[in-house]
Amino acid sequence: MKKINIFKVGTTFPALAHNHGDFDRWTMEGLGIGEIETCVLDVEHGASLPAPEDCAGVIITGSHSMVTDNLPWSIQLEQWLPLLIQAEVPLLGICYGHQLLARALGGEVGYHPAGKEIGTVAIRLLAEASDDPLLHSLPLSFPAHATHSQSALKLPPGSVHLAESEHESNHAFRIGNCAWGVQFHPEFNAAIMRSYIEHQDKDLTSTGMDTVKILGTVEETPVAAEVLACFARIVFQR
């Protein structure tokens, strides 16, 4: 039985967790897997990192922490990631995981100069995505959910730039043959995205953002959700 290890590196807001579950549950539901076992490792709270050869696939979730906080568990994971890449284990980093992967391989992570991106945004695939194993079957433009203040400001040397939005130039990239980072959240549905916006209403308003307008753009994102199912197929077919 093949196993996908879900590295849980954060927890959502308590109210959201009560109503909708948490990052690991959303990720497992999005994978839609039957023949692939999943294992959740709560890395944020001290779970040991497995040997790369014991992983059929790895997903790193989102987090409310910042990569630049340089928390001990995050640094340990960052130093472990090149070993996974060398072993050619399929890897998908989501939001925080995307940024951590970028920095682990020589990129730069920091606060986005234009501020926070939040809501349902239009993702544009670049020409390099046309033959990408994970993204090639997706349309050139599709809606996806996003919420982040930090970004991969510079992608790692030798990486393949795959997607962007109007706000965020580095929404997806690939390292080698089977490691990807996506800044958007394929595991979110519309209800989760609305809850994130509503929960941060005061903070968003204080920075001049119109939460009513942002909420009005939220829609379901079935194409973005396909990223998780596509990743599961890549793992299973190896």
Give the pLDDT band of residue 235 (cuts 50, 70, 90): very high
Domain carrying residue 131: 2-237
Contact of 167 with 147, CB cutoff 8 Å: no
- Cβ-in-10-Å burial (0-12, 13-18, 19+) of 208 comes to exposed
Does the annotation count 187 as an active-site position?
A: yes
Res 64 pLDDT > 80: yes
CATH of the domain at 131: 3.40.50.880
Does the annotation count 219 as an active-site position?
A: no
What pLDDT was estimated at residue 35? 62
Res 33 pLDDT > 70: no
For residue range 80-121, list pLDDT tens digits in order.
Answer: 999 999 999 999 999 999 999 999 999 999 999 999 999 999
Greater model confidence, 34 or 209: 209
Res 1 pLDDT > 60: no
- Which of these is catalytic: 95, 145, 168, 171? 95
- Which of these is catalytic: 44, 117, 187, 226? 187
Looking at the whole model, is its pTM more than 0.95? yes
Q: How far is the C-alpha of 88 from the C-alpha of 216, rounded, in Å?
A: 41
- Which of these is catalytic: 98, 117, 185, 226? 185
Question: Residue 174 phi/psi, 5° resolution?
Answer: -130, 140
Longest Cα–Cα distance of the chain, Å, equals: 50
What pLDDT was estimated at residue 105? 98
Q: For the chain, what is the domain count?
A: 1
Greater model confidence, 33 or 71: 71
Does the annotation count 98 as an active-site position?
A: no
